[in-house]
Amino acid sequence: MKDFKQEKTRVDQADRTIYDVKDRLDPAFLMDSGITPEIVNQISREKNEPEWMRLFRLKSLKLYNEIPLPTWGPSLDELNMDQIVTYVRPKSTMKAKWSDVPDDIKETFERLGIPKAERKSLAGVGAQYDSEVVYHNVRAEVASKGVVYTDIESALTGPYSEMIRKHFMKLVPPSDHKFAALHGAVWSGGSFVYVPAGVTVEIPLQSYFRLNAPGAGQFEHTLIIVEEGAYLHFIEGCSAPRYYVANLHAGCVELYVGKNARLRYSTIENWSKNMYNLNTKRASVEEGGTVEWISGSFGSHISYLYPMSILKGKKARMEFTGITFAGEGQNLDTGAKVLHAAPDTTSHISTKSISRDGGNSTFRSVVTVTEKAEGSKSAVSCESLMLDSISRSDTIPVMDISCNQADIGHEAKIGRISESAIFYLMSRGLSEDDARALIVGGFAEPIAKELPLEYAVEMNNLIHLEMKGSIG
Amino acid sequence: MNTQINRLPVPTWNRTGVNWLDQKALPPDREYLQGRHLPYDGILPHGITLMDHLPAGVAEIKSGMGEWLDEFIRKGADKTCYLLGEGIASEPVIITQNLDPAQPVIRTHYAIKAKPGSNLTVVQINRGDAKDGVVENLTQIDAQADSFVRLISIQLLGKNSQSFDAVGARIGKGAKVELIRAVFGGKTAACGSMAHLEGQGGGYQQDTAYFTDEDQIFDFNDIASHIGRETVSEMHTAGVLSGRSSKILRGTIDFKAGSAHSVGHENETVLLLSPRARNRTVPLILCGEEAVEGQHAATLGRFDEKQLYYLCSRGLSLMEAKRMLVEARFMPVLNKITQDDLRQEILTIIERRLDEHEINS
């Protein structure tokens, strides 16, 4: 039996100062709380939408009222939809220059470092404040290649309206689950990206979603189409100040990855701890295409987040790399889903989680391999660290295999640092503390190296390790 | 009371169909049987005696199949067998039950109470067949301090019958329980085990082998619940799926708060022979205690071409090589079956099913 009598590693809470600054609530329009056909019609009217979208919203609302809450996962009993405001329009229309954005909103995004990041390392930025996009811009050289990056409302009525209609909520139909239906009924804001065939967008695009109003919901819709042979890295960031009433995020992300195209989708979710994050993300990948998900879940009170990849073309590929930190008052239920629906498809899911201070972290996944997916391969790996005995960490994977010509592997572990690894490092001259620090630092490193630099720094700040003993 | 059978300890997406036993595989709705008979009429080996009544506290030991089925079998059993182990048993107790058209329902309640320091092995063999036949077994084990109980369950029913095999074990300080299962028969076979590792240093070992064909439906729900400190669980399952069969394995390692310094390992290897077979594997680790080590692994797929090539290069035919690889997977179970004729019978079933698969594919 191993010696478990070791001191604990300390993992501090993140410094949320910049995220928790609250702006004065001063919207141009604030919808009544709750969700009714009148409210849905009013949202549609406010946005001057085409009739088909208004009808789509009403149909989604009907589904929302019919579909029950999930019978699995963290409890949603305390989420009272009658108290959630589904639409808050800020006092600004969409601008293409930061100087045109109202000062108070601009200052919020300045604090979050978005304009600076745009100048330094991004090909384009979209910024949403409450229910509407307030800023969108894309570098001229990227736009000149035919890349479209705009808010989805503009796209809905502009030259890409037919493309939007063809793809909008086709991967995630409102019937999928209760909060997909809710999204269909009250969605607002979000981004539309179109990358033409053969175009490589060498530096990332980023959308940042900021929810300022207390008791409000954010329901942005992100639709990305990457055509044959194209490449895009898209970054999504989210934050909100902390309030003592529940906020709700029920966004939807739909990604269409064309033949031999590649899309990397990075998310750093740092919502405040009064947030219910019930987000749905799904990708469809054609022959030879690749989708890569990088996911960091740090915030929220409760999360349900399982990006799904549908590998529908031969040799399509997905990779999912995720990390979850669950602290006091958090119940983060995260993971991934993949459907192998074509021959020679490949998936690789790798996740890490840390639970501390009574936090609850759950890894949940499903790998489905259909009869058609001959020659497919899937590997799932999840590792969890519990830093005290008042926290929880659960893994709930499902493998559903209907193909006898596939190779599927799964491994998961909850555990401590190997004593033999410490012994080895000490034999090479490291002190015990340094050896433990090195190993613990390595735990999160595979994820950190996949993150954009500024987010990797943020994550490393989050893990403040005082290596007095072993982890666990 | 929840009537679902083989319920996953923590539910997941309903559309995966793994949260509990499929409705179409439920046991037939039959009245309680009458009478209390002994399923064993031989002479018990030295170290094992028969008890007239269920010992206190044993009825509460839950199996992995759920309270409803436990109670249904316990209250409605037509056969009861309450064994008491004292000291070291000289040889295993072997209990064979035969299903036939004259006796299409067998419902047996076993209890095994192992006194401190005792050591015993019980072999349960279920065979035979009957139209709409059903065998329902509940085995409740109370392994007291430093005792050792090995339960070997062999299910060789025909394909007209159903089988429900519930096992619950309470494992005391320093005690060890082994559950060895070979499951081959029945149109549906549901097994659910739960090890309650309550005493410090308690151990649980489970080895399961199964081989499905035709339209068989197999459903497992195995749980190792670590409650005491320094407890150890090892759960290993090896299976082969052919025909249009389907199988769900739910395997859970549950570290309760207070189970500090415990270790749990679980793995499954599945060989899919047929493109029409469906395998679902759901290996859970639930952890409410920090100072533990839990690990699970699953490997699902086809024969390893390199292994086949190597064996064929040593002079084996392709069929011989495949048979050898399948038998190797089942060795942890086969090695613990000390009855040569029984082991040979299982090897013959494996050989026949592989041959049938080759002919049909």
Question: Could you tell me which residues are beta bridge partners of residue A193?
Answer: A149, A224
Spell out the domain ranges in chain A: 11-305, 419-472
**Residue A54 contacts residue A44 (beta carbons within 8 Å):** yes
Distance between CA atoms of residues B49 and B196, nearest Å: 24
**Residue B271 contacts residue B284 (beta carbons within 8 Å):** no
Out of A436-445, A448-457, B177-186, B289-298, give the one with best mean pLDDT. B177-186
**In this complex, which of A1, A364, A389 lies closest to B289 when CB atoms are compared?**
A389
pLDDT at A2: 41
pLDDT at A388: 79
Contact B261 A4 (CB under 8 A): yes
pLDDT at A15: 55
- A200 to chain B, closest Cα gap in Å: 37
- A390 to chain B, closest Cα gap in Å: 7
**B290 interfacial to chain A (CB closer than 8 Å):** yes
- A398 to chain B, closest Cα gap in Å: 5
Nearest CA in chain B to A394: B286
- B250 to chain A, closest Cα gap in Å: 9
**A413 interfacial to chain B (CB closer than 8 Å):** yes
pLDDT at B359 > cutoff 90: no
Least Cα distance to B123 among B78, B180, B56, B203 occurs for B180
Q: Best mutation site among A398, A405, A413, A419 for testing chain B: the one with the most B CBs within 10 Å? A: A398
Mark which residues 70-109 of A lie under 8 Å from B by CB: 71-72
Among B18-27, B179-188, B304-313, which is the least confidently predicted range? B18-27
CB contacts of B10 in chain A (<8 Å) are 72, 394, 396
CB contacts of A387 in chain B (<8 Å) are 290
**Residue B113 contacts residue B75 (beta carbons within 8 Å):** no
**A4 interfacial to chain B (CB closer than 8 Å):** yes
Distance between CA atoms of residues B143 and B175, nearest Å: 6
Question: Could you tell me which residues are beta bridge partners of residue A321?
Answer: A294, A350
Nearest CA in chain A to B293: A415
Distance between CA atoms of residues B141 and B147, nearest Å: 11
Nearest CA in chain B to A337: B13
Cβ pairs bridging A and B (under 8 Å): 145
CB contacts of B276 in chain A (<8 Å) are 371, 402
Distance between CA atoms of residues A110 and A108, nearest Å: 5
CB contacts of A392 in chain B (<8 Å) are 286-288
CB contacts of B261 in chain A (<8 Å) are 1-2, 4
**A426 interfacial to chain B (CB closer than 8 Å):** no
pLDDT, one tens digit per residue, over A444-470 is 777 777 776 666 666 665 554 333 333
The two three-digit tokens of residue A129, written as one number: 């404040």
| Tokens 């009869």 sit on residue | A371
**B254 interfacial to chain A (CB closer than 8 Å):** no
pLDDT at A73: 96
- A359 to chain B, closest Cα gap in Å: 11
Nearest CA in chain A to B231: A1
Backbone angles phi, psi at A406, to 5 degrees: -135, 155
pLDDT at A470: 34
pLDDT at A16: 58
pLDDT at A4: 43
| β A231-239/A205-210 pair status | parallel
**A244 interfacial to chain B (CB closer than 8 Å):** no
User: Which regions of chain A are under pLDDT 50?
Assistant: 1-13, 464-472
Helix (H) or strand (E) holding B214: none
DSSP E strands, A45-143: 88-89, 124-129, 132-138
pLDDT at A454: 64
**Percent of chain B whose pLDDT exceeds 90:** 84
- Cβ-Cβ contacts under 8 Å for B75 (sequence gap 6 or more): B32
Question: Could you tell me which residues are beta bridge partners of residue A247?
Answer: A275
DSSP state of A83: G
Residue type, B224: A
**In this complex, which of A2, A397, A403 lies closest to B275 when CB atoms are compared?**
A403
pLDDT at B219: 98
Distance between CA atoms of residues B231 and B201, nearest Å: 5
Contact A1 B230 (CB under 8 A): yes
Contact B282 A396 (CB under 8 A): yes
pLDDT at A106: 72
pLDDT, one tens digit per residue, over B213-262 is 999 999 999 999 999 999 999 999 999 999 999 999 999 999 999 999 99
Mean pLDDT of chain B: 93
**Residue A249 contacts residue A238 (beta carbons within 8 Å):** yes
| Cα pseudo-dihedral A313, A315, A321, A322, rounded to 10 | 30
Backbone angles phi, psi at A232, to 5 degrees: -150, 140
**Residue A217 contacts residue A246 (beta carbons within 8 Å):** no
**Percent of chain B whose pLDDT exceeds 70:** 97
**B212 interfacial to chain A (CB closer than 8 Å):** no
pLDDT at A207: 85
- B361 to chain A, closest Cα gap in Å: 12
pLDDT at A115: 76
pLDDT at B203 > cutoff 90: yes
pLDDT at B135 > cutoff 90: yes
CB contacts of A398 in chain B (<8 Å) are 12-13, 16, 18, 280-282
pLDDT at A137: 80
A407-419 burial code (b ≥16 CB/10 A, e <16)? bbbbbbbbbbbee
**In this complex, which of B261, B276, B277 lies closest to A1 when CB atoms are compared?**
B261
CB contacts of B275 in chain A (<8 Å) are 371, 402-405
pLDDT at A12: 47
What confidence tier does B56 reach under pLDDT thresholds 50, 70, 90?
A: very high
Distance between CA atoms of residues A249 and A190, nearest Å: 12
What sections of B205-317 are H helices per DSSP? 305-313
pLDDT, one tens digit per residue, over A181-229 is 999 999 999 999 999 999 999 888 988 887 777 778 899 999 999 999 9
**A404 interfacial to chain B (CB closer than 8 Å):** yes
pLDDT at B347 > cutoff 70: yes
DSSP E strands, A216-359: 217-218, 221-226, 231-239, 247-249, 252-257, 262-270, 275-278, 280-285, 290-297, 302-305, 308-311, 317-326, 331-340, 346-355
Mark which residues 324-383 of A lie under 8 Å from B by CB: 364, 366, 371
Question: Could you tell me which residues are beta bridge partners of residue B269?
Answer: B238, B299
Mapped onto helix, strand or coil, the DSSP state of residue B123 is: strand
Can you give the pTM of this predicted structure?
0.90
- A462 to chain B, closest Cα gap in Å: 20
